[in-house]
Amino acid sequence: MPQKKQFYKEFNTLDYVLRNARAILLVPHVNPDLDAAGSVSALYGFIKKHYKKNTVTITCFDPMPESMKEIMPNIVFVHPNKIRVEDFDVIIGCDSVERGFDKIIKSASKECVTVTIDHHHDITIESDLRIIDEKCAATCEILYDFFVSRNTDSFDKDIATALLSGIIGDTGAFQHANTSAEILSMSSNLIKYGASITKIISTLFANRKIETLNLWGKALEQTKFFPESGLAVTAITGSSMDGHAANSTEASNIASMLTTVPSVKAALIICQVGKNTIKGSLRAEKHANIDVSAVAHTLGGGGHPLASGFSIPGRIETTEDGGWKIV
């Protein structure tokens, strides 16, 4: 595995910023996944535990997914419309910051310190402090290193659970190519502090509702495979959901599942997540030498070479030949 960056200077600066902050705002990306939700939840707990700050708020344009609430029940996401961004003197974006954080900081005061903590390779947004390492499997991995660098007793059960959730999410429950010996060592240590790997995986991956399994079945049954490119494509339309609201996690899980099929080099699933909103998830097989983030970028999204996503306006409609079109 490539060597990670060493953030000695940046971690000291972040520590100074947190110690002197009056009001701190934490921002995950829209449609938060496990790493986004886990990173802000862990940082929230760490700040409360070690910096004794009374004013720490997590804001997000979307609520925390219901499945994640079971793992992190004490965390509340506040919609940006319900806060005054200019009241915060530190704003920290965690994970895929160009999907939410970029909008929030436009309302920040001139004196506000902005911080980016991320592991995506395509971050272009400017901030006062940038802690970015694309060699890390998850943003939670970077935060783990920061916590350990500050305090030998950095974790409690809630912080450990949040960090492990993010690591599990972005390593595909330790099945993706970014699972390193260091990641497994970190996870082992988090388990010692009370994080339950069994509860996390069973809550997020195993305990599927019948409606979810039916939705997966429909999506997999409709999958189109293009052998000349190795691309598998499927869609979850509004009519196929039968009242079951699909979410971004379900869509990405289906895309990941498709890349395990022989001959599939990359997979795309588009999913109707609102009346006029479509979520797209792209996955690539690790040996295919395909960068799906380049595709996501053209649609206003982003991510990693092997796993990316995007959101676009529109509705998915089924065509007469069994395909789909976006209107």
* Ordered structural domains, the chain, with CATH: 7-205 (3.90.1640.10), 209-326 (3.10.310.30)
The pTM assigned to this predicted structure is 0.82
| pLDDT of 203 | 79
pLDDT less than 70: residues of the chain: 1-2, 152, 205-208, 239-250
| pLDDT of 2 | 63
Which of 123, 164, 134 lies closest to 29, judged by CA? 123
Q: How far apart are CA 31 and CA 158, in angstroms?
A: 22
| pLDDT of 57 | 97
Q: State the alpha helices, DSSP H only, in 117-258.
A: 139-150, 157-170, 181-192, 197-201, 210-221, 248-258
Question: Is the dihedral angle over the CA atoms 116, 121, 125, 126 positive or is it negative?
Answer: positive
Residue that has been written with the tokens 């993010």 in this structure = 166
pLDDT tens digits, one per residue of 246-284: 555 667 778 888 998 999 999 999 998 878 889 899 999
